[in-house]
Chains A and B, each alone.
Chain A
Amino acid sequence: MNRYPLWKYALIGITLCLGLLYTLPNFYGEAPAVQVSSVKATVKVDARLLERVDETLKAAGITVDGIFFDQNSVRARFGDTETQIKAKDTIERALNPDPENAAYVVALNLLSRSPAWLTAIHALPMYLGLDLRGGVHFLLQVDMKGALTKRLDATAADLRSLMRDKGVRHGGIARERDQLAIRFRDAEARNKARAAIEAAQPDLLLVEGQDGSDFKLTASLKPEAQKRIQEFAIKQNITTLHNRINELGVAEPVIQQQGADRIVVQLPGVQDTAKAKDILGRTATLEVRLVDDENSQNPAVMEEAARGNPPVGDEYYVERNGAPLLVRKQVVLTGDRLTDAQPGFDSQTHEPAVHLTLDSAGARIFKDITRDNVGKRMAILLIEKGKGEVITAPVIRTEIGGGRVQISGRMSTVEANDVALLLRAGSLAAPMEIVEERTIGPSLGAENIERGFKSTLYGFIAIVVFMSAYYMLFGVISSIALTVNLLLLVALLSLLQATLTLPGIAAIALTLGMAIDANVLINERIREELRNGATPQAAIAAGYERAWNTILDSNVTSLIAGLALLIFGSGPVRGFAVVHCLGILTSMFSAVVVSRGIVNLIYGGRRKLARLSIGTVHWK
């Protein structure tokens, strides 16, 4: 009666193997590594870069333990930190000959020493949280009201020029909190204005009113438009943050949206909060300027300009395709006038293109400039850290009105995407404020790992010793089940790549202490059945069966608490809750299925079983 069908043993066996496999990477430890990733969205990391890094290192005579290429970075592993630092300098010099204008981030990192075949099946070590590895954590609150205000202010400017274009006389446009108020002398002007605004600004909700002798029209953003603006604002802020953090040279930054209006930024290994904060808050802008074509085509002038002496009123730039050009210093248009940039295709040539949308003031300027400069070139620059880069310098073919601008020619789809991203990402869509900040030093991280590890280890040993002494063989079986539980929990955490924090380690220790409850219940129940005169085999069967109901009930109540923590907890609480919930699930499997499997293996086959090794039973 106490025999498992073969499939159940197979199930246990397979689970154990998988558990071992995915726990394995945690034992290899970490090796110093150098990670190369791209700073600019326009510079791609690909297999060619891997070769380049490899050759550079070989040429310098640095032994590489392994070099890999993943989605967006090249990582090389080294024997010790000394080689690592030497390698970093070598790669830095080779890839970024001009430190002022670096194209790649070369960062120090730690990489798992586990063999490649483990990495190939996604068996990675547990992902350690900042409190264990050290670093900076920011929680940024995006000022949504600010995003809407910014938009309304831009709309007010649009409306003013719209009124002017349509020849409607108005008594002033003003923003009153979250709406715009437009005053008119008479109803006729108001009706005219209303028709014009409805046609030009579909996002506005218009309400007519009367203020003394004035006729009023109040415009507010429609709820769906507000929602769209807010979603756009947070997306754009995240993109901008990504670009900026890339320059910090952080190996594995985490930038995520949290809730409707917050962004979490985690920078492992970074200690200098002030610098990190400075970079997060920096603004990048877009500029449109005219190209000095005359001088750009003059080789003598260009040669002189390349040496740092451009003609007066011009600046020397190198276009992304490597062609040098001279750009006028006078700024025609700035990124403030840009409302959107999207990649797409030219409707006639089907070439990849970037579609820009300008606000109405920007559209008017753009129209004037293009009309006056047909046949000349126009440069679009991204200015960051006071340094500009020419993204593209197309030839103006015709006058462009309406505020919709298309940049095309000499672009691949990927490039179009990148340019659109860069243009969008230039500045923050809404102001942000740091509402939470945490810096954890590397020594504290290492200390926390040690503390967590010790707590778990000694708690585990104490339980195992006690259980084995108290329940004899059944105690040993329970201990094995507990070990399996620990193994499965670590495997699951590694597989899911859930962030392990110090409270998470505490949850592992606590889970072990709580998981043993199921085995105590079972063992006590078996003793009780024996005491009541059941045969050993019957006692095992009844013990497991009767205890199961209780185990289920008690674990479900624990799971309810765990899930509530998972839903409403944040930060350390969530780290605790994830491990707690997973631990409850694995413990139910290991305490009931695995321990029963072992008991069945040992006792199940014996016909004449006189007694069980479960400690003192008969004392009556």
Chain B
Amino acid sequence: MEFFKIRKNIPFMRHALVFNVISLITFLLAVFFLATRGLHFSVEFTGGTLIEVSYPQAADTQKIRDTLAAAGYVDTQVANFGSSRDVLIRMPLKPGQDSAKLGAEVMGALDKADPGAELKRVEFVGPQVGRELAENGAIALLLVVFGIIVYLALRFEWRFAVSGIIANLHDVVIILGCFAFFQWEFSLPVLAAVLAVLGYSVNESVVIFDRVRENLRKMRKASIPEIIDHSITVNISRTIITHGSTQMAVLSMLIFGGEVLHYFAMALTIGILFGIYSSVLVASPLLMWFGISREQFIKAKKPKEEAVV
């Protein structure tokens, strides 16, 4: 079996400007939605209480809302979670509230209104923990970016490092933009997924960069755009198959993983799709514009000649 029988190089670089403009527009849109709508942070980040309740029959969320309001809990959000029988109740932080009792009290109120409710989980996060999580997330992100730049700069050259990281940060911003646009819940597992995507989609750039470096040495006569086109073309089969395989695993998570893994898998899916796009169509043109040249990789072999001049 062979899906990709490409005989000629695909002239990706000829349309580089178009792709980058598309990228820029998506990027700006993502930033726009992040700025206007903001992320819908989960309880882990904002602090608050989360109660998951399971009913033997389909749950009436309106009735639950009324019951809670009658018991004095205002500002609560009640929503179905996964199935019509499971309900997720979110409550904001209130100073001086006893979280352990809160769970029991809420269950007491719900049980009185509609017997048979089963408490599945309670999560309570204090305000300072949430703030720390957000800070640590930001530090982790910076560390990943820095680590990858340093590694790529050592293994390749700074131009590769910078174009690689720009392309992949663009993926991250787009994932966040999607979460902001759809107001999907941004939880800790999603943060993990975003950082994993950063590491993962740099892979794609690395594989192409690797080929570019190899071909810079091999294809002496070719121009830089030709070399990049060729490198992407010979790799396209691997790119699609690899990401297809990863996507199969992620898709399986999206289908069977339940509500907890849903947004985790969603973030990965967006990350994988944009990872391909950005590595092929963003990182490579950037590489071209930063001005890579053969000498950057070959000069190391003939240092003596340069010294004479």
**A506 at interface, CB cutoff 8 A:** yes
**B295 at interface, CB cutoff 8 A:** no
B residues 100-137 touching A (CB-CB < 8 Å): 100-101, 103-104, 118-126, 128-129, 133, 136-137
Question: Is B195 a contact partner of A434 (Cβ separation < 8 A)?
Answer: no
Contact-residue size bin, chain B (C-beta under 8 Å from the other chain)? 35 or more
Given A517-B203, A560-B151, A437–B122 Cβ distance below 8 Å? yes
Question: Is A139 a contact partner of B136 (Cβ separation < 8 A)?
Answer: no
Which residues on B sit within 8 Å (CB–CB) of A457?
Answer: 252
Which residues on A sit within 8 Å (CB–CB) of B55?
Answer: none
In Å, the complex CA distance between A546 and B256 comes to 37
Question: Is A441 a contact partner of B1 (Cβ separation < 8 A)?
Answer: no
B residues 244-302 touching A (CB-CB < 8 Å): 244-253, 255-258, 260-261, 264-265, 268
**A38 at interface, CB cutoff 8 A:** no
Of the listed residues B52, B103, B140, B244, the one surrounded by the most CB atoms of chain A closer than 10 A to its CB is: B140
Of the listed residues B104, B234, B251, B260, the one surrounded by the most CB atoms of chain A closer than 10 A to its CB is: B260
Which residues on A sit within 8 Å (CB–CB) of B210?
Answer: 549-550, 553
Question: Is A439 a contact partner of B196 (Cβ separation < 8 A)?
Answer: no
Question: Is B139 a contact partner of A521 (Cβ separation < 8 A)?
Answer: no
Shortest distance between the CB of A482 and any CB in chain B (Å): 10
Question: Is B252 a contact partner of A554 (Cβ separation < 8 A)?
Answer: no
Which residues on A sit within 8 Å (CB–CB) of B67?
Answer: none
Question: Is B246 a contact partner of A516 (Cβ separation < 8 A)?
Answer: yes
Question: Is B189 a contact partner of A520 (Cβ separation < 8 A)?
Answer: no
**B144 at interface, CB cutoff 8 A:** yes
In Å, the complex CA distance between A513 and B247 comes to 7
A residues 165-182 touching B (CB-CB < 8 Å): none
Question: Is A557 a contact partner of B202 (Cβ separation < 8 A)?
Answer: yes
Q: Which of A63-71, A353-361, A408-416, A448-456 contacts B (4 or more CB under 8 A)?
A: A448-456
Shortest distance between the CB of A486 and any CB in chain B (Å): 12
Given A451-B257, A521-B207, A572-B192, A503–B264 Cβ distance below 8 Å? yes
Question: Is A463 a contact partner of B5 (Cβ separation < 8 A)?
Answer: no
**B217 at interface, CB cutoff 8 A:** no
Question: Is B128 a contact partner of A435 (Cβ separation < 8 A)?
Answer: yes
Closest residue of chain A to B264 (Cβ to Cβ) is A506
Question: Is B189 a contact partner of A554 (Cβ separation < 8 A)?
Answer: no
Given A437-B123, A517-B203, A451–B192 Cβ distance below 8 Å? no
**A323 at interface, CB cutoff 8 A:** no
Given A503-B192, A550-B207, A569-B136, A513–B143 Cβ distance below 8 Å? no
In Å, the complex CA distance between A277 and B98 comes to 10
**A571 at interface, CB cutoff 8 A:** yes
Q: How many A-B residue pairs have CB under 8 A?
A: 243
**B59 at interface, CB cutoff 8 A:** no
In Å, the complex CA distance between A463 and B207 comes to 21
Question: Is A444 a contact partner of B206 (Cβ separation < 8 A)?
Answer: no
Question: Is B100 a contact partner of A274 (Cβ separation < 8 A)?
Answer: yes
Q: Which of A111-119, A219-227, A339-347, A466-474 contacts B (4 or more CB under 8 A)?
A: A466-474
Question: Is A451 a contact partner of B256 (Cβ separation < 8 A)?
Answer: yes
Q: Which of A273, A513, A568, A570 contacts B246 (CB 8 A)?
A: A513
In Å, the complex CA distance between A571 and B44 comes to 10
In Å, the complex CA distance between A463 and B247 comes to 10
Question: Is A469 a contact partner of B1 (Cβ separation < 8 A)?
Answer: yes
**A351 at interface, CB cutoff 8 A:** no
* Besides the known contacts A455-B249, A553-B206, A565-B140, 14 further A-B residue pairs in the complex with CB atoms under 8 A apart: A434-B100, A435-B125, A451-B256, A454-B257, A503-B189, A513-B245, A516-B246, A521-B207, A556-B151, A558-B199, A561-B195, A562-B199, A569-B188, A620-B7
A sample of 24 inter-chain contacts (CB < 8 A) reads A273-B104, A434-B99, A434-B126, A435-B129, A436-B129, A438-B123, A451-B260, A451-B261, A452-B257, A452-B261, A455-B253, A455-B256, A457-B252, A506-B253, A517-B245, A521-B242, A546-B214, A560-B151, A561-B199, A564-B195, A568-B140, A568-B143, A571-B188, A619-B5
Binding site for B on A (CB under 8 A): 139, 141, 271, 273-274, 276-277, 433-441, 443-444, 447-448, 451-452, 454-460, 462-463, 466-467, 469-470, 502-503, 506, 509-510, 512-514, 516-517, 520-521, 524, 528, 546, 549-550, 553-565, 567-573, 576-577, 580, 615-617, 619-620
